[in-house]
Amino acid sequence: MPTSVPTLPHPLSVFSSQRNSFGVMREYSIHLNSTITHDPDGLITLHDLTDIPLPSPRNVSRNLNPYGPFSNLSSFLMADWYWNSNNKSYLDFQKLISILKRPNFSLEDATQVNWAATFKALGANRDDLPEDTGSWIKDDGWKTTQISIDVPFHSRMKNSGMEKYTVGDFRHRSIVSVIREKILNPDENRQFHYYPYRSTWKASEASPEVDLYGELYASQAFRDAHEELQKQPDPVPGEPLEKVVVALMLASDSTHLTSFGDAQLWPCYLFFGNESKYRRCQPSQHLCHQIAYFEKLSDKFTDYLKTRNHGKLPSDAFMTHCTRELFHAQWAVLLDDELLDAMKNGIVIMCPDGRRRRFYPRIFTYSADYPEKILVGGIRNNGICPCHRCFIKKSDLSNLGAPIDDQRHVQQRIDSEDRRRELVSDARREILENSYAVDGTKVEALLKSQSLVPVNNAFFSPRFLPFIMSILPSLVVDILHEFEVGVWKRLFTHLIRLLEAFSQASGVTLSAELDYRYRLTPSFGRDAVRRFGVNASAMKRKAARDFEDLLQCAIPAFEGLLPEPHGTALMKLLFVFAQWHALAKLRLQNDHTLDLLDYTTTQLGAHTRRFDRDTCSRVATKELAKEAEARARREAKGKGKGKAASTTRKPATLGIFTVKFHYLGDYVPTIRRFGTSDSYSTENGERAHGLPKSWYARTDKQDYQEQKTRIERRQARLSRIRAQALEPSKEDHHMGGASNGLSPTEAGVEARYIMASNQNQPVDLGSAVVNCLGATHHDLYLVDFIPKLKQHLMPRILQRLGFECSAGYKGDWTSVVIRDHRIYQHKLLKINYTTYDIRRDQDVIHIETPQCNVMLLNSNFPVPGAHSLYLYSRVLGVYHANVSYIGVLPDGTRRYDSFRLDMVWGQWYESLSHPGKEEFQLDRLRLSPVETPESLHFMDPADILRGVHLIPQFSLGKVDALPPKSRLVIPQESEWNAYYINRFVDRDMFMRYQYGMSVGHIYMHSLFPLPMLPSIPTDFDYCLQDLPPPAARGSEQAQASGSNVTPTSEFTRTCPLDPLIMDQATTHDGDSNDLDQADTSEHAGLGVRHDDDPNKMDQADAYEHADHDYLDDMNDREIILHEEMYGEI
């Protein structure tokens, strides 16, 4: 019988698009004589390019059973209202009223429903319902699988050998089923990318072409998988279907469900890299799929071990081994034969566009914190080689960015996978066949040198070798845990220790002064920088985003608090930290920004080592009060009930050179491989926790995992019914801003700015301006107000009438007529702008608040004398006027057309920064004196680039005189002598100062055809000298007289302390007693364990790392969760 020959595909060719107005071009690799049949980017609307709330487009499809298990629209609307909010609010009450008022709502239809049976069917699996009632269900629902593990009792235990123990029921979904559900959904398939592409950018003809890095479907990893798949023969001869890679992005993390109690959930999430990260990373889009709730070892397992082992519990290493086995036993269920077949032969699906395609799942990323990374990768907790990517030794973790830090590139774990499998197999043979302990001598001899563990890793199963070459590269970087609540939090904590050390010498409570400065730091944007709490230094209830805000505003807050030379060193270090953070979090990278990130990583490593060597090692610092109390509670727990531990504050060091510090060097290669870090940040998984946590209140608190699976299906199915069966209602189009006269629409988002149209606040130019300039009421702000206003309006009127006119043209400005001699004032101005990553965003300028500062392009740049690309102004007023021109026009005619013109009244800032300023310094401004003739000015709101975040330079204090009073300017407090321009306030602002590197800022393209990239000099000091031994660290006491770190009297004078906190110097330590009380691990919408640094380890590693400072970053409940999840160490 003849055998069928696989059909070989056609060779691939490159298809290139035209460069768009931003200089961006795409290259697709497709088969010869084929076309791109599905292009989501061609369907992009303005709604897809902005985070500003807009009405969502909705495709309405009609089918035979549009309402699923509901017999009519009314019952569906009531169920949808009930299930899609857990804690009913007044807004929910209004939604209910709007449902009842709908003309097609029938109370009789809603009351005749058997709600218990309907809700049960809504959350049930299709197989659990009769065929006639479950036909509307298109998904496979949740499954329950019994999980067992092999428990290895070694030769010195009773009845040694392997025993199988049934842990419990594992609730999960089929990954293949989730893929089918995703692709068959017409609404979500519309923006599901089938073809990866290479994106390049060329700013101008004189600029080099560079690669762009952003979406996962435009990454090198996706392109490699796509091209490899296209070269494979068709699995079914004669059926050459289009082959598509499905990019699986996994995330998992344990979370606490209540503030008090021990209810926990360990969900596993699935995202699709074929979808844009701008949608995927927004919880409101519901693109995160819950695929499993992992089980943990329960108290029953502990009882089983005690019964099995004469009442004694095995070693901690034994318990940790069982935890690892259970985790991978559950992953072995998820990585089932159905998924294996899909990876090998694809899933044939009839897509919503009517074409049959074959979809091949591939695992691209797995987002997790460090404890879970090593759990997935089968690496020992903080072993000799603590990194899951390379074999770097623990002693070399501090060498970040130095030339000798090449271990990560030379010896990669992925290059020794075969050897790894042999070692783990041999170790398991010793455990299973020879009854050696999991941490026995023979097992340790095989695994310890590479920090491996003898676990049966599901990701290294031989079945998946062709499709999962190694899970280790997929364990991507994690800026949230590794930097924001990792490296940066450690540095911030030690800075508080330093402030306390220097407070003893100066008599000034420096941490209280720091809190005062943070409180005075203005907020910015919708959520870029939020208002700081009363005591920032206490770090109470701080989530990752709070530490991010602390870093973004740290330079003005810490300036001058440490004496020289430590103060200058700290300012540079904070700038480098903030710049590294801004670069690592960019949502659109290019080769220039990655080169700058590489450069900044080198600087960060060197400056951190220098600060540790020259400051931290010379100043004796002690634990904070909260750290000492937390340590005492841990020690008391270990000693037993009724035994107290000492709360004496022990010496504490910087302790920053952990594996998290080492990971900072992996960001550049990871971004080049998988795209930008926001795409796979653990922040996405942390945000997704909000949904299953909110469901806990709907359960009976007993078998809540099972009940959550049904709630998840109910909400998912209701969402699909809503999208397919309902027309958008008027409520969907309602948008915020109506109360202040603004009505933003899609057309408004395209506009440069939005200003209200009402005329509720008229300003009479006669009474308000002319009468205020008399001898008795001389208003400095209103001097030449009307002439300046008309001179500003003159060229704009001519341009409106169709005449070319420069902005500085004055002409016969006296012929400008302002109707009724009135202008109309507004409080708000919304500035729309294009971001660096080619999206639309918005700043709200609010006069009489700190959010009233703006930036404009300097039209004189780069003429000599114009050192800055930008000009800065404080907005004093937002106005519009109805104007006309009665003079002779340039063509000799007269036209008396009247129309509205908008204008902004402002006061210039003067630059205090000179062109040759040192690297790693923020630019500074001061407010131009109102007496200066050119200080006050009018501007076209369309010329404003965006708002700007200015932070006072606290160390210079305030000016002595109060600003003059004015009828049109609300009296303000004394001005500060200088302000810092906070370029780190958000990513777009940061990129406006990276000249020649920003894709979306077109005005830079011609001015900076080549980027301004710094480079490491050949004689650069990497600060690799040996650090002082522990006994010598802090030998130079901060309070020692004559020491070079003693604060001076000048320092005391230049710190404007808050008078309300001057008396706290003697009580500061005592006020710290409750610093970590109720410090929940999930809050503010983003659950974060403050430091998941697993410097915890197996017993065999205990001698390698005796310092347990990492636990001081956790409160009691976090430590308990850590031990329960990853095993008692």
The CA distance from 649 to 1073, in Å, is: 13
Convert the pLDDT of each residue in 524-547 to its tens digit: 998 899 999 888 998 887 888 999
Considering only CA atoms, which of 530, 367, 479, 259 is closest in space to residue 1082? 259
User: What is the C-alpha to C-alpha distance for residues 841 and 51, in angstroms, rounded to an integer?
Assistant: 7
What mean pLDDT, rounded, does the chain reach? 85
Confidence grade of residue 239 (pLDDT, cut at 50, 70, 90): confident
Tell me which amino acid residue 870 is.
Answer: Y
Mean pLDDT of 1014-1037: 71
Q: Which residue has the higher pLDDT, 223 or 1024?
A: 223
Residues 692-703: what's their mean pLDDT? 90
Q: What is the pLDDT of residue 1003?
A: 94
* pLDDT of 392: 93
Average pLDDT over residues 651-674: 96
What integer pLDDT is reported at residue 1062 of this predicted model?
A: 39
pLDDT above 70 as % of the chain: 84
Residues 1097-1124: pLDDT tens digits?
A: 333 333 233 333 333 344 444 444 444 4
Mean pLDDT of the region 17-29: 94
| pLDDT confidence tier of residue 771, bands split at 50, 70 and 90 | low
Per-residue pLDDT band for 774 (boundaries 50, 70, 90) equals: low
pLDDT, residue 913, reads 86
The Cα–Cα gap between 573 and 610 comes to 9
- Whether the bond between 915 and the residue before it is cis, its omega within 30 degrees of 0, is no
Query: What are 253-296's pLDDT values in tens digits?
Result: 999 998 888 889 999 999 999 999 999 999 989 999 999 999 99
- Which residue, among 478, 469, 454, 486, has the nearest Cα to 413 in the 3D structure? 469
Query: Any idea which residue has 């199963």 for tokens?
Result: 461
Local confidence band at 1039 (pLDDT 50, 70, 90 cut-offs): very low
The mean per-residue pLDDT over the stretch 72-94 comes to 89
- Cα separation, 467 vs 1086, whole angstroms: 34
Lowest mean pLDDT among 803-812, 879-888, 976-985: 803-812
pLDDT at position 865, please? 59
Counting beta carbons within 10 angstroms of the beta carbon of residue 1107, is it exposed (0 to 12), middle (13 to 18) or buried (19 or more)? exposed
Give the tens place of pLDDT for each residue, 343-387: 999 999 999 999 999 999 999 999 999 999 999 999 999 899 999
Is 411 or 59 the better-scoring residue by pLDDT?
411
851: phi then psi, degrees, rounded to nearest 5: -85, 50
Q: What percentage of the chain's residues is helix, strand, coil (to nearest 5)?
A: 40, 15, 45
pLDDT reported for residue 441: 92
Q: Are strands 242-252 and 356-367 parallel, antiparallel or unpaired?
A: parallel
Q: What tokens were used for 1047? A: 């604060």
Q: What is the pLDDT confidence band of residue 1046, given thresholds at 50, 70 and 90?
A: very low
pTM of the model: 0.89
Predicted pLDDT at 157? 84
Position 540 scores a pLDDT of 84
If you average pLDDT over each of 167-171, 255-259, 729-733, which comes out highest? 167-171
Average pLDDT over residues 198-214: 95
Nearest to 175 by CA among 289, 293, 327: 289
Q: How far is CA 1029 from CA 418, 556, 608, 613, 670, in A?
A: 40, 33, 17, 11, 35
Q: How far apart are CA 513 and CA 537, in angstroms?
A: 10
For the record, the structure tokens of 241 come out as 């279907």
pLDDT at 12: 84
On the question of pLDDT at 436 being above 80, the answer is yes
Q: What radius of gyration, in Å, describes the C-alpha atoms of the chain?
A: 32
Confidence band for 513, pLDDT divided at 50, 70 and 90: very high
* Residue 549: predicted pLDDT: 96
| pLDDT tens track for 889-932 | 888 888 988 999 999 999 999 999 877 678 899 999 999 999 99
Give the pLDDT score at 1089: 34
Say yes or no to pLDDT of 1073 above 60: no
Looking from the CA of 221 toward its CB, the CA atoms found within 13 Å total: 28
Which of the listed ranges 4-8, 634-638, 721-725, 1009-1013 does the model predict with the highest average pLDDT?
A: 1009-1013
Judged against a pLDDT cut of 70, whether residue 588 lies above it is answered with yes
Cis peptide preceding 1030, ω within 30 of 0:
no
- With pLDDT > 90 as the criterion, what percentage of the chain qualifies? 60
